[in-house]
Amino acid sequence: MYQRPFMTKELIEKMVGDCTFEKNEKRAPKASYSFEVFRLASDLSHLVFIPRDAGKRQAKRENLEVRLSPEQISKVIDLAKNQKSLTYKKVRSTAGISEDYIPKDARGKKKEGDEFGEDNTFGSLKAYSDISSALKELPEDWAKIDNESAINQIAYILTTQKADEGIRAELNTLPLSDKAKEAIVKIKPTNFKAFGHLSIKALQKITPHILEGMTYDKACEAAGYDFKKQSASLEQITNPVVKRAITQTLKVVRAIERKYDKPYFIKVETARDLAKNFKDRKAIENENKENQARNQSIIQTLNENGIVTPTGQQIIKVKLYREQNGVCLYSGKSIDFETMLRDDNAYQVDHIVPFSRSNNDGITNKALVLTEENQKKGNQTPFEYFGADEKRWKEFAARVESTYKTRDIKTADKATNAINYKYNGYAMKKKQNLLLQDYKNDSWNVRALNDTRYITRFIQNYLRQMIDFAKGEEKQRVIAPNGTTTAYLRKRWGLAKDRAEDVLHHAKDAAVVAAINPKIVYQANLFSKEQEMKKYLTNVKTIDEKREILLASTNKNTGEITDETTFTKAQRDLAIAEYFKLRSDEETKNRFPSPWPDFSKEVMKRTLKTDIATLQNELRGLDNYDEEFRLDVKPIFVSRMPRRKATAQAHKETIRSPKVKDNDQRTVRMPLNKIKRKDVENSVLKESDKWLYDKLLERLDAHDNNPEKAFAEPVYKNDKKFDKNGKQLSPVSTVKVYSTQPSGFYINNGKAFVNNGSMVRLDVYQKPNKKGKIEHFFVPVYAHQVGENKPAPIKILPAPKGFTDVDETFTKVCSLYPNDYVRIYLKNEIREGYYVKYNVANGAMQLLPNYATGKNQNTFVQVYGKNAQAIERYDVSVLGDNYRWL
């Protein structure tokens, strides 16, 4: 019988949290019928099938996506009650959807021959299946408890009771035979472990709406719950990257509280790749690299044309020039490349849907056009500009269709298909903006101050719950500006980021996010509108006239542009007054609105990579810095999270021979298709099988030492493919090669040897040599060496002459974990940075300098610490305060 781990019902019940919506109700077990049906129904409501021969974007664009109806969802759930699990294929066939359709996004790793993951598991009612299987031979008992209430009760018993006697005692309240009770006791607890985030009461209110085909958020609202204000629990987050980001955010906020007191409000911006999986994050990273490569190509073109330091606007102009085949999209006239480079006023980059109305500063909302066309268009969409002229609109639409034609994604070359697929998505978005006929003029001011992504909303709710804010008039305590807004304002304030250069661009981002408020957004909106309407404002003589025209235009085009709960009429009137005061001043009339004078200059100076004296000198002349404050400012010190956990891979997977040759050499089996000449020469074959040794070298020599080609055709020992009985012999697949192993340990009672796994820390010791000079020695500590009752590792690597282990004559200096800050005093210099790793072969420490990103291998510093005069570890707080470790 399965031995259940010891855990009392009382202890488990104490750990169960409250329901997300029903505050006086406890959460339901995930094994309960109510929760299992809720989860399966939720997954089914989100499930999408698309035509087998259509791409995801095409299916969405052409409205080819198929979702399950309430009747189909009900059918699939009925089937799930009788099967252990359901594949995507089974769901499709049960729902009566044609075989010509495939799942849009199948979860899990796709098996060979199953390109679309149709045979992957979609979902199941695991606990329900376990209980029904246990009573399979007892139909009368099953009939008594085959209902939501009874299954919920059994699931609760099996989730909270871990002792067989306790389970039996609680099952006595159910109308079951002794045989049925024993069958339930024998159910393995695998699927009866955790609790969800909702109570049975909430589930019974929400699930009926999901069964009608609603998504979870809509079902919550239909059930009378405020989905947007639901309590946030880290249990709801399954992505480890997101969970770590949230916990680190809370640590930073707590540290700020301790140092500066309670905050009045918090502003948050989340990275667009935060909630993505590894594959998606990698795709975004590759996309950024590709964009950088394209920009470099354009910069080279501009350099060749005499422009030594191109501006961002010039780069975009060349990009759009190439994209549009050198034609102005609005007029159809040719764009002269030389004139475009030399005369900034000849051609302009236009926001297709005006920025003041769309908040879209992306390349898909930009077109390179004749300046006169842009000025005539003003703050209208292309359709509003000349849609009334049917002939001109048709010519424009044909020009757009011709310029942004979709490309073939079914060529013989997969790489070409991938490039064309990506281009088609871009072209589709561009065409949508260019050919838009019915634009809803909702205000971007409200959207600018509200990032609506799920993960951002979650962090907002979580911080609202966890932080005790200072008393104040602010109604919105956690604000999350839209990423598009921050990017636009950062650019307009001259704070462009360079991700490759260093990590200080994060500090600039934080300053921008902190400075964003309804007033600055509103003023930026007015400025954008003023630029778009320049032609109409040319003859306006007074600032009051300009004010009247702009504000009237704002009302006409964007309606009520801000939310009164976050930006009152009084605040808006003040923003307007400040804006037009700047416009009436000769010095500031053309300046983009700024949070305060010299804001950009201050941010640039505060994010300098420099020493204290230089920074404090740079800050002279800033009006908002008095002498005392200026002399208290220090450069930014980057804080990184140390990795001090002791759990890691205990040893490498390759198992080696325990036999030792000269110089601590052991054998390791290498696959034949990886073997090169030097490996064969260093193999056991030299002594054990001269024929095979010569044969392998002969093959490699004939194929330029390329093992893939050399051994594409199988190699048989002594060229024999069959034994004396005519049975097929196996070809040579591996060769034992000698390899020096500086560190490792025996396993399987000394029958095998493995390399050490992950190094969890580096212990640093010191000892005076015979001349009395201090020398440092390093003891790597591996995962298998860490644990209770395990002796402290003592083996020095690389081993010095005369001894190999530390003893009582050594003094321990410190232990270094990855991301610990270390300062090493050499004879003529100090080398410092965050500890990354240690090379046991040559004794070199790899450090990452304070400001470096770590993305470029050239930024790392190699330090040999043996002869250092001193080595110091510093503990760095989350706010960058650093203290020497003692």
Structure tokens at 318: 């060349």
Burial of 148 (0-12, 13-18, 19+ CB in 10 A): middle
Partnered with residue 780 across adjacent β-strands are 762
Going by the DSSP 8-state scheme, the letter that residue 728 receives in this structure is B
Going by the DSSP 8-state scheme, the letter that residue 356 receives in this structure is H
Cβ pair 48, 56 in contact under 8 A = no
H-only helix segments in 49-118: 56-61, 70-80, 88-94
Q: Annotate 325-351 with b (16+ C-beta within 10 A) or e (fewer).
A: eebbbbbeeebeeeebbeeeeebbbbb
**pLDDT for res 657:** 45
Tell me which residue has tokens 């104040």: 472
CA 438 to chain centre: 35
Tell me which residue has tokens 């989350």: 878
Cβ pair 471, 588 in contact under 8 A = no
Closest CA to 458 of 676, 239, 251: 239
Sequence-distant (6+) residues with CB within 8 A of 242 are 274, 275, 455
Closest CA to 793 of 840, 858, 834: 840
**pLDDT for res 233:** 65
What is the Cβ-side half-sphere exposure of residue 320, based on CA atoms within 13 angstroms?
Answer: 30
What is the C-alpha separation between 198 and 28, in angstroms, rounded?
6
Q: Kindly compute the dihedral angle of the four CA atoms of residues 351, 353, 484, 59, in this order, to the nearest 10 degrees.
A: -120
Divide the 886 residues of the chain into consecutive groups of 10 and give the mean pLDDT of each group: 59 85 91 96 93 77 84 95 94 93 87 88 95 95 95 96 91 94 94 91 96 88 78 65 82 90 88 60 72 87 90 91 95 94 91 82 91 88 87 93 88 82 85 82 51 71 84 80 84 78 86 89 83 69 69 44 52 80 80 90 92 92 89 92 65 44 63 89 84 91 91 88 84 82 50 59 94 94 80 90 91 94 94 92 92 79 92 92 73
**pLDDT for res 133:** 95
**pLDDT for res 440:** 59
Classified as helix, coil or strand, 455 is helix
What is the C-alpha separation between 870 and 810, in angstroms, rounded?
15
What is the C-alpha separation between 461 and 236, in angstroms, rounded?
12
**pLDDT for res 234:** 67
Q: What are phi and psi of 636, to 5 degrees?
A: -65, 135
Give the C-alpha distances (Å, rounded to integers) separating 308 from 301, 304, 318, 610.
10, 8, 15, 27
pLDDT tens-digit readout, 551-585: 665 443 333 333 444 456 777 778 888 888 887 78
Per the rule left: phi > 0, alpha: psi between -120 and 50, beta: everything else, 824 is: beta
Partnered with residue 87 across adjacent β-strands are 121
Closest CA to 744 of 776, 785, 778, 777: 785
**pLDDT for res 87:** 96
> What is the pTM (predicted TM-score) of this model?
0.58
Partnered with residue 370 across adjacent β-strands are 347
**pLDDT for res 676:** 92
What is the C-alpha separation between 65 and 140, in angstroms, rounded?
44
pLDDT tens-digit readout, 630-687: 999 999 999 998 887 655 444 444 444 444 454 445 677 888 988 899 988 888 887 7
Structure tokens at 464: 């609202």
Sequence-distant (6+) residues with CB within 8 A of 552 are none
Classified as helix, coil or strand, 124 is coil
What is the C-alpha separation between 357 and 380, in angstroms, rounded?
9
pLDDT tens-digit readout, 813-834: 999 999 999 999 999 899 999 9
Would you call the peptide bond into 798 cis, given omega within 30 degrees of 0 as the criterion?
yes
